Structure 1
Amino acid sequence: MVYRRRLVDDALDELFPHLAAIALEGAKGVGKTATASQRATTVVSLNVPRQREILAGDLDYVVQVEPPVLIDEWQLEPSVWDRVRTAVDDDRTGGRFLLAGSADVAPGVRIHSGAGRIVSLTMRPLSMAERGLSEPTVSLSKLLSGSRPTIGGRSDVRLAAYTDEILRSGFPGIRDLPDRARRVQLDSYLTRIVNKELPENGAVVRRPETVRSWLAAYGSATSTDAAYTKILTAATAEHVNKPARATVDGYRDHLSRIFVLDPIEAWVPVFNPLKRLTHAPKHHLVDPALAARLVGVGKQGLLRGDGNRVAGATGTWLGALFESLAAQSVRVYAEAAFARVGHLRTRDTEREIDLIVEGEDRRVVAIEVKLSETVSDKDVRHLNWLHDKLGVRLADRVLITTGEFAYRRKDGVAVVPLALLGP
């Protein structure tokens, strides 16, 4: 298979020659191993029993083989993290170690943070720019600069194509399969999470059907900040013997550890001119294709408006998935710009902004996502409210749509089809 270059490759090109150790973190299937292998001379795969046995018996093996060394699924032998850390203390020459991990270490396992020795980069499924449907014409990093770049460009990607992209997923090894094979593979991915990945990474799963039900309920809460009690109620509505809240909270923690849950935390500015903001995260799975499979609605159903959401959620199910697709891409672009992503909502729910991208200089780009080709003043009212509140600290305002053209409105809001937004 021909390697598909990723945005994180740019970061690795810039950083790895100067840093001794970099950890690539993310869910199974996002492409960590393929990306890291492009730079590795020696590969140690700890999901291969023999290689794991060798390393467990002699941790010094990683400093004896020819660098750069890729240690794949390092969390299966957590002590290797500390061995790499001490190796970096001894020799800080750049380009020595790449660690790929699809989980944090299990609870109770103590390792050094690696601060100052091992730098972590997050990988997510393919962004829209990485999928190659259109050439992006609007750069998130330029928007973050506050230079108010000229906004333009035309996209042939329409609602039906965005729906296809939601269902195809951004997992490199899944998205190009034939339709039926892809659906089977996504279902298998979800089954493997419950039956293998969770137990392998320290979770005790006594009732797999409960975990699957909770995942489906969480998926139906995509792009909302619904309370976890509401998600639990939806997950166990038909259960006679309901699991304890602590049990379900444990499942949630483990699913986050293996990067299957990818919530967006609430944004609270350091110098806070905004009052009464919520602190609840906005729910997202690592890929909206997983949410679509869990809820069980196909392309025609999505386009008809089918799909159940958690109680109290507004808008269509397709709209929620489109927002999740946009969020997935924006987070990849933000990672490339060394920026972080949050969301904003006031406690009275009168104001809500889907994505807040905050750069290293504390300036932010506010982004709303709308499943529509047309834009009205009502659609940008929260963006303009935030502009009034933050002033020059708000670098730019963006409304992501399914439309044809990118342009800047008279009020200064950039209207950008998702396919035209890039890093």
Structure 2
Amino acid sequence: MEYLHRTVDQELDELLPHASAIALDGPKGVGKTDTAKRRASSMWFLDDPAQRAVAEADFSLSTLATGTVLIDEWQRLPAVWDSVRRQVDQGSPPGRFILTGSATPVDAAGTHSGAGRILSLRMRPMGLHERAIETPTVSLSKVLTGEHPEVRGETRISLKDYAHQIAGGGFPGIMPVPPRLQRAMLDAYLQRIIDRDLPEQGFEVRRPETLRRWLAAYAAATSTTASYSRILDATTGGDGAQPAKTTTIAYRDHLTRLWLLDPIPGWIPANNAIRRLQQAPKHHLADPALAARFLDLTATSLLSGAGAGMIGPLFESLCALSVRIAAQASEARVRHLRTNAGEHEIDLLIEGVDGQLVGAEVKLAPQVSSGDVQHLLWLRDQLPDQVVDLMVLTTGTTAYRRSDGIAVVPLALLGA
């Protein structure tokens, strides 16, 4: 299968000549190993029992070959992390180590954070701009400069295409296959998490069906700030049984370690410029396709009455995935903004490295009205010195700027 360029590739190209060790973190199947292998001169796969046994016998890794060394699934042997950190302290050259991991270690307390020695980069499933279905014409990095770059471009990507991208997901090994096989592979992916990955993290799933119900309730809350108590209430089974709150807290903790949950935090400004803001996160799974599978939604049903209530939240989740990947390349963070009473909210708030802000609203329909931008205009009025640009992400065909300066960008045309 042809390798599709990832946004994190440009980050690695920029950082490897200067950093001795870089860790690529993210859920299984997002392509961490393939991306790292393209830069490695030697490789260790610690999910291979034989190679792990050799590494266990020499925690110092003193016999490694020269060049860039890839240590894959490092969390299978957490002591390797500390060995890498020590070698960095001892003067390892730039580009010496790439570590990939699909879970944080069970006993993280025994592993040094690596702060200042090992640089961590998050790798998510592929954003829309990475899937080679369209050529982006609007760069988020240029938008973040505050120079109001020209917004232009046309796309033939339609709502039907977006539904297929939501249902098919951004896992490189799953994307190219027919829809029926995609669904089977995504179901198997989720089953593996329940049957194998969670137990390997030391979490015994006593009632797998209860966990699936909780995950389905979490998926149904995609792109909302629903309280965890409401998600728990929605987990009640047909027999009236409901998991204990402590059980669902354990679900959240362990699924977060596996990078399966990927909520967007609420934005809290350092200077308290806007008061009475919610801190509750917006709920997202690692990929909207996983949410669709928990809810038994296909590309076809998303466009019918059965999926009418979820196509909007899942499109927003696809936007969030793409924006977070693009923002990371520019050292920017993505948050959401919602006042306590809910009178104002911004779907995605992108905060640049210098504190500059870009507000983005998500609209499923192709047209944008004055009512669709009122919260963005409010944000600009509240923070005129910080807000450098505003945009609405749509399913339309044309990218342009409105007379009020707000960019209207079809998601397919937004790139890093």
Task: Report the TM-score when normalising by structure 1.
Answer: 0.96
C-alpha offsets along residues 259-293 of structure 1, whole Å, 9 cap, x if unaligned? 00000001111122101000000000000001001
The reply on whether 1:86 has 2:86 as its aligned counterpart is yes
Deviations 1:300-321 (A, max 9, x none): 22112424xxxxxxx8310010
Give, in angstroms, the shift of residue 63 of structure 1. 5.1
Secondary structure of the residue that 2:377 maps to in structure 1? Answer: helix
- Give yes or no for contact 1:278–1:345 (8 Å, CA) kept in 2: yes
Contact 2:223–2:317 under 8 Å retained in 1: yes
Of 377, 383, 388, which aligns to 2:376? 383
- In the alignment, the residues of structure 1 paired with residue 387 and residue 135 of structure 2 have an alpha-carbon distance, to the nearest angstrom, of 26
Residues in 2 aligned to 1:209 and 1:66: alpha-carbon distance in whole angstroms: 48
Equivalent residues of 2:167, 2:292 under 8 A apart: yes
The secondary structure found in structure 2 opposite 1:282 is coil
The reply on whether 1:228 has 2:221 as its aligned counterpart is no
Counterparts of residues 30-69 of structure 1 (less than 5 Å):
30-61=30-61, 64-69=64-69
**1:72-104 deviation digits (Å, cap 9, x = unpaired):** 110111111000000000014101000000011
2:388 maps to which of 385, 391, 395: 395
Is the counterpart of residue 319 in structure 1 residue 312 in structure 2?
Answer: yes
Amino acid at match of 1:168: G
Q: Which amino acid aligns with 1:210?
A: T
CA distance, structure 2, for counterparts of residue 74 and residue 263 of structure 1: 24
**Residue 244 of structure 1: how far off its partner (Å):** 1.5
Whether contact under 8 Å (2:167, 2:297) holds in the other structure is no
Aligned residues: 416
Match of 1:127 in 2: 127
Secondary structure at 2:383 match in 1: helix
Contact kept? 1:397, 1:413, Cα under 8 Å: yes
Amino acid at match of 1:145: T
Equivalent-residue separation in structure 2 for 1:305 and 1:89 (angstroms): 59
Quote the Cα distance in structure 2 between the aligned partners of 1:365 and 1:8. Answer: 21
Contact preservation (8 Å) 1:107, 1:202:
no
* Residue deviations 1:180-236 (CA, integer Å, cap 9, x gap): 111100000010011111111222211111111111111111000100011111112
Q: Secondary structure at the match of 1:224?
A: coil
What is the aligned partner in structure 2 of residue 256 from structure 1? 256
Indicate if the aligned counterparts of 1:19 and 1:92 stay in contact, CA closer than 8 A: no
Query: Which stretches in structure 2 are left out of the alignment for 5+ residues?
Result: none
Aligned-partner Cα distance in 2 for 1:299–1:86: 49
Query: Percent sequence identity over matched residues?
Result: 52
Deviations 1:122-160 (A, max 9, x none): 101111111111111111111111101111111110100
1:107 positional shift: 4.1
Match of 1:199 in 2: 199
Q: Which has the higher mean CA deviation after the structures are superposed, 324-333 or 143-152?
A: 143-152
In structure 2, C-alpha distance between the alignment counterparts of 1:178 and 1:303, rounded to whole Å: 19
The CA RMSD measured in Å over matched residues stands at 1.2
Shift of 1:240: 4.2
CA distance in 2, matches of 1:389, 1:63: 58
Distance 2:299 2:35 in 1: 31
What amino acid does structure 2 have at the position aligned with 1:422?
G
The 8 Å contact of residues 63 and 87 in structure 1, kept in 2 or not, is answered as: no
Amino acid at match of 1:404: T
Q: Secondary structure at the match of 1:124?
A: coil
SS of aligned partner of 2:194: helix
1:61 alignment partner, SS class:
coil
The equivalent of 1:160 in structure 2 is 160
Q: Which amino acid aligns with 1:342?
A: R
1:293 is aligned to: 293
Q: Report the Cα offset of residue 168 of structure 1.
A: 1.1
Distance in 1 of aligned mates of 2:102 and 2:32: 9
8 A Cα contact 2:261 2:285, kept in partner: yes
Distance 2:130 2:199 in 1: 32
SS in structure 2 at match of 1:235: coil
- Residue aligned with 1:316, SS: helix
What is aligned with 1:95?
A: 95
Residues of 1 paired with 2:65 and 2:371: CA distance? 61
- Maintained 8 Å contact 2:26/2:124: yes
Q: Which shifted more, 100-109 or 225-234?
A: 100-109
Equivalent residue in structure 1 for 2:323, among 327, 330, 335: 330
Structure 1 position 179, deviation (Å): 1.4
What's the CA shift for 1:239?
4.5
Q: In the alignment, is the contact (CA less than 8 A) between 1:305 and 1:317 conserved in 2? A: no
CA distance in 2, matches of 1:111, 1:53: 19
In 2, are the aligned partners of 1:214 and 1:231 still within 8 Å (CA)?
yes
C-alpha separation in 2, matches of 1:42 and 1:92: 16
